[in-house]
Amino acid sequence: MEKHDGTDLNLQIVALIGFDGDFLHSFFGTCDFEGRQLVHFENGMILVQEWEAKTLNIAAVISNSEILSNGGLSLIETLKNRNLPAVPFFLVLRYFNSNLRILALTAGISDVFRLPIQKDRLEERVLFSIRNWPSLIKELPAQTRSVYQIGLAKRMFDIFFAGMALIILFPLLLLVALFIRLESKGPVLYYSLRTGTGFKIFRFYKFRSMYINADQKVKDLMHLNQYNNEEKKEQFNQVNPVLCETCAQTGKCQYPIYADGAKWCEKDEVYLHSQKNGSAFFKITNDPRITKVGNFIRNTSIDELPQLWNVIKGDMSIVGNRPLPIYEAEKLTTDKSVLRFAAPAGLTGLWQVEKRGKGKMSEEERLMLDNTYARNQSFTNDIKLILKTIPAIFQKESV
């Protein structure tokens, strides 16, 4: 199996993305794609960079990724945005249902294979698509209709509101960035992938509120654990790297957060487990992952202010349904829940307004309110929501 730095540019390439070494050799090592070169890329961004830099002769792409993860719909969109040649694109995954299949095929994915897969079936499908790709692509619609088109009045309001807020808050943003930089090394901003209108995946910006080496910091402070004992220390040390149940199936993190070369997991299982269940792995008085500045900007929701740039870009609106992390969005593909994605993604929305002062809200109640907003969305209703609760506009996502 060849690496991307040893490719023969004269041969057609079947690009393999995200597979581990054992699977590459045991499965793809015995595959026959009619003499085409099999080249492995660690992730989709490396493929994109090499494809553009070396004008690679890619005949097909086979990606080991869940549909709503980085190597799925997000990579398909990146390839289209970079104007790279359209080629057959296949996904090899573990989690799968009929709704996700429709979502994948609508987005331009040629086919989806659930592990374990049959080698003959994969070979047959890939070769058929390569041989007949010119005919197949002609039959595809040139454009797909957007799930939601934002109205002119709403878009003008979003740009005006977000633009004025950025201008007025610019000194505060600079001050926060300075304090973040002074307290700890690392980027001031980070982004994670979020799912918005029509399941569109985009970069969701925030001020960094944690140390970038948070996982190591937790290990260094294990002796402060209020419930520390030898059994838990051994249990903690065995989980390295820490992967959630979904990521453990693929052997790597499916939900990374990025910032200027730094990367950490949005689903830190040790941290989330300790927060949900008390002392199972780790619990001390002050969470060592969060900086002092980070604690302040989280409590005041200042860490959310960079999302004003998402509004300017058109990823989000001032009022709408909150964009969801990919691992949450991939669970909401039934007819009952998919309606919420027909509405604009927003900084605040109906469920945040209804939530204030009323205690905990169940997932069913939140979904019901998201769907209600999607059915009744209008610029007039948006203004009413803003006037009803101005403080809710920059309310924290974990309300």
- CATH number of the domain at 64, please: 3.40.50.2300
How many domains does the chain fold into?
Answer: 3
Q: Per-residue pLDDT for the chain (399 aa), expressed as one digit of tens each?
A: 555 555 555 688 999 998 988 888 888 888 888 889 999 998 998 999 999 998 899 999 999 988 877 888 889 888 988 889 999 999 998 877 766 777 777 778 888 888 888 888 999 999 999 999 988 877 555 454 445 667 888 899 999 999 999 999 999 999 999 999 898 888 888 888 888 888 888 889 999 888 876 555 555 555 554 444 444 444 444 444 455 555 665 566 656 665 544 555 655 544 444 444 433 334 444 566 788 898 899 888 899 899 999 999 999 999 888 888 877 777 776 667 778 888 888 888 787 676 655 556 667 777 888 888 888 888 888 888 877 755 544 444 444
Pairing mode of beta strands 189-195, 201-207: antiparallel
Q: Are residues 312 and 283 in the same domain?
A: no
Q: Are residues 130 and 35 in the same domain?
A: yes
Residues 93, 217 share a domain? no
pTM for this entry: 0.54
Single residue among 289, 307, 340 that ends a domain in this structure = 289
Task: Specify whether 21 is located in the same domain as 96.
Answer: yes
Closest CA to 290 of 221, 227, 366: 221
3 state SS for the chain: CEEHHHCCCCCCEEEEECCCHHHHHHCHHHCCCCCCEEEEECCHHHHHHHHHHHCCCEEEEEEECCCCCCCCHHHHHHHHHCCCCCCCEEEEECCCCHHHHHHHHHHCCCEEEECCCCHHHHHHHHHHHHHCHHHHHHCCCCCCCCCCCCCHHHHHHHHHHHHHHHHHHHHHHHHHHHHHHHHCCCCCEEEEEEECHHHCEEEEEEECCECCCHHHHHHHCHHHCCCCCHHHHHHHHHCCCCCCHHHHHHCCCCCEEEECCEEEECCCHHHHHHHHHCCCCCCCCCCCCECHHHHHHHHCCHHHCCHHHHHHHCCCEEECECCEEHHHHCCCCCCCCHHHHHCCEEEECHHHHHHCCCCCCCHHHHHHHHHHHHHHCCHHHHHHHHHHCHHHHHCCCCC
Note whether 322 and 202 are same-domain residues: yes
On the CB side of 239, CA atoms within 13 Å amount to 21
Please state, in angstroms and rounded to a whole number, the distance separating the CA atoms of residues 239 and 334: 34
Q: Which amino acid is at 331?
A: K
Q: How much is the CA Rg of the chain, to the nearest whole Å?
A: 23
Are 72 and 159 in the same domain?
no
Q: Based on the fold, state whether residues 238 and 327 are members of the same structural domain.
A: no
Residue 73 corresponds to which amino acid?
A: L
pLDDT at 280: 33
- Give the domain-ending residue among 289, 316, 351: 289
- Cβ contact 274:280 at 8 Å: yes
Domain range enclosing 43: 2-138
pLDDT of residue 273: 43
Q: 307 and 394 in one domain?
A: yes
The rounded distance, in Å, linking the Cα atoms of 322 and 326 is: 12
Q: Do 93 and 201 share a domain, yes or no?
A: no
**169 and 30 inside one domain:** no
- Does 14 lie in the same domain as 26? yes
What are 262-265's contacts with CB under 8 Å, separation 24+? 262/186, 262/187, 262/190, 262/212, 264/210, 264/212, 264/214, 264/215
Distance CA(306)–CA(191), nearest Å, equals 10
13 and 160 inside one domain = no
Domain boundary among 289, 314, 345: 289
